[in-house]
Amino acid sequence: MVAGGDAGSGDPLRDPRFQPFGGRLARHAARGPVSPLLDIRDLCIGFSAHGKHRRVLHDVNLHVAEGERVSLIGQSGSGKTVTMRAIIGTLPMPPAMIAQGSIIYAGQSLLDLGPIERNRLKGTGISIVLQDPMTSFNPVLTIRRRMEDIIRYADLRLGRSGSKAAR
């Protein structure tokens, strides 16, 4: 998932915060309380089928700062795709139901947005790459090239002349 803002040069090895051992980026020093760009609190999601309701996600919390990149990693069936689809508004409702919690993006509740407003954010403010590599990536292209194409498309949708992917 990439959530808004300019996430950087695109090359983590050139990022001044890169720490060679472990390949991780150092966090910036705290600058006081900052509201996250994406803030998910106590999200619970269930599904109904054959007259029965089953809760599949319990109390999901996620806070993403502007420019931060996040990967959800977990076992098959652990709720990664359900969480991401709840964020971008593509969960089929019904049978899905958000039982409780909030999803706030840039200070606005995504759960209160209609389909048109939600669609404006897809690919421009929030993007996801689903776990199925056969439908997510072209094996001939590198992941970097594929992500550059996604960013270029978002820039075109936003009417930007210079793409972030070129930077």
CATH at 74: 3.40.50.300
Q: Is residue 157 part of a domain?
A: no
Residue-averaged pLDDT of the chain: 74
Q: Is residue 117 part of a domain?
A: yes
Residue (of 9, 128, 116, 6) closest to 66 by Cα position: 6
Q: Is residue 118 part of a domain?
A: yes
Q: Which of 63-67, 140-144, 158-162 has the lowest mean pLDDT?
A: 158-162
Six-digit token string for 162:
């210079």
Q: Is residue 29 part of a domain?
A: no
For 125, the domain range is 2-11+35-130
Six-digit token string for 61:
């919390």
Higher-confidence residue: 92 or 145? 92
Q: Is residue 50 part of a domain?
A: yes
Higher-confidence residue: 8 or 113? 113
Q: Is residue 99 part of a domain?
A: yes
Q: Is residue 65 part of a domain?
A: yes
Structurally, the chain folds into a number of domains equal to 1
pLDDT tier for residue 101 given thresholds of 50, 70 and 90: very high
Q: Is residue 159 part of a domain?
A: no
Six-digit token string for 78:
């652990």
Contact (CB, 8 A) for 1 and 65: no
pLDDT over 90 at 42, yes or no: yes
Contact (CB, 8 A) for 155 and 165: yes
